[in-house]
Structure 1
């Protein structure tokens, strides 16, 4: 026989385990806050841009679509070259960085919009000043060495990375982490509540008996506590003494004079 659960039963289960759900939500939020503010190291980003174009072009001539398409195709190659050891080893040496070229590569992200000749180089590092230096040095080194590598001088820097007065970290994002933790805590709490309810096979009501035995309930034997029995005995005794005193009271005689 297939069992179904109604919306009312779902609400009852959640109300029954409400403290457990709230505890998991609060606990998850506190853990996320502690990790975000005290455990994770803040990181900063700095970006610079360069454009891939023709090095020598007549100003009076019209733009050639084929040349633009060729430059766009070159960007995919340039994206690989700029993160290669041929470029990054010089950056590490020039800035005297305490990391290897492969570690520097993991800090660099190169991107470009579709069919765009503009390339953005973004560097992420715990030190905002160092992130600016690495971004600018990487693009400058790439611009110097690309003529020897590709025999082409078609890279021009559009904008350099600059140090902001009050840089804001890009990660971690405490509020976002806490919000995600609250949602996950609520989901886990509701899941555990229904799991505990599913594993609880004790009989608590007449409906549970009917569901498990498929027979109607004919009668109920109520549980009487000891305090209720003592109170009942005291009440009966008081009533008995009250009736006895009322019936045995002496009557006054009235004499005629």
Structure 2
């Protein structure tokens, strides 16, 4: 019984190795298809990477205080301030604030689209929060970020009836754009092209099945193969008579 189990396990391992070899040989046979799929996707990725617009990001730092006057910052105070940060993050992206900013700078985008460009995140283990905004114009990024901060402070005063948010550091005009990641885009496009090419090659192999090895014949006939006849080249009649 144990011997039979080992034989079956060995058989499955051999089948797995054969399948992997079949996959390798399939890639070798259909390398032209794979290359033909990689080339257009790589060209498209290169074109997309080179034509991406520059994006500038400006950020301002705000401080959120719980109103407690203490020399040291206790862990309970930090936890309370972190909860306030989560609440204030939603206030900063409220439709009222976004609509006023859009109206002031004549932005051609909806409040929802503007909200996607805004990021409000806490600075770990502090009372500080970072408010960032990104767009294609560095001067506009600076102006909108500072205006968002001002409108945010006003809104908190109206809603929470407290003034415990203030600006620590105003946004300045960014000097350089965010990384465009052109190399990553090109690499991803090549990988996607290779995957697409491999899929097309597998589809071709599935639609055009051929008997390529003895195991294929065994699967079709359901019997074990006893031997193989090697390929013999037959010479021309003139050469055959000369040799005889």
Cα separation, 1, equivalents of 2:72 and 2:214: 89
Matched, 1:37 2:50: yes
Equivalent of residue 204 in structure 2, options 185, 196, 219:
196
Aligned partner of residue 92 in structure 1, secondary structure = helix
> How far is the alpha carbon of 1:217 from its aligned partner?
5.9
- Count of aligned pairs: 228
Q: Is the 8 A contact 2:57 2:174 kept in 1?
A: no
Structure 1 residue 78, shift from structure 2 partner: 0.9
Any runs of at least 4 consecutive aligned residues in structure 1 with deviations exceeding 6 A, and if so which?
220-224
Would you say the 8 A contact 1:206–1:217 is kept in 2?
A: no
Instruction: Look up the match of 1:176.
Output: 184
- From 13, 16, 21, the equivalent of 2:29 is 16
Cα RMSD, aligned residues only: 3.3
- The question of whether the paired residues in 2 share the 8 Å contact of 1:210 and 1:216 is answered with no
- Give per-residue Cα distances to partners, 1:96-152, cap 9 Å, x unaligned: 333343332232121114553211111121222212211111002222443233111
TM-score, normalised to structure 2's length?
0.75
The yes-or-no answer on 1:103 pairing with 2:113 is yes
Supply the distance in 2 between the matched residues of 1:205 and 1:98 (Cα, whole angstroms). 65
Query: In the alignment, is residue 91 of structure 1 matched against residue 104 of structure 2?
Result: no
Aligned partners of 2:66 and 2:80 also within 8 Å: no
2:89 maps to which of 79, 93, 97 = 79
Instruction: Give the CA deviation at 1:4.
Output: 4.5
CA distance in structure 2 between the aligned counterparts of 1:64 and 1:207, rounded to whole angstroms: 73
Within-5 A mapping of 1:58-69: 61-63=71-73, 66-69=76-79
- Structure 1 gap ranges (5+): 241-257
For the pair 1:49 / 2:61, whether they are aligned, the reply is yes
Aligned residue for 1:124? 134
1:248 maps to what in 2?
Answer: none
Contiguous gaps of at least 5 residues in structure 2? 1-10
State the distance in 2 between where 1:118 and 1:212 align.
Answer: 71
Question: Which string of whole-angstrom CA distances, capped at 9 and with x for unpartnered residues, describes residues 132-177 of structure 1?
Answer: 2111110022224432331111112122222233x22444x22111
Structure of higher CA gyration radius: 1
TM-score normalised by structure 1 residue count: 0.72
Q: Deviations over 1:214-243 (max 9, x none)?
A: 35467578686xxx64xx33884xx59xxx
SS of residue matched to 1:105 = helix
**In 1, are the aligned partners of 2:55 and 2:135 still within 8 Å (CA)?**
yes
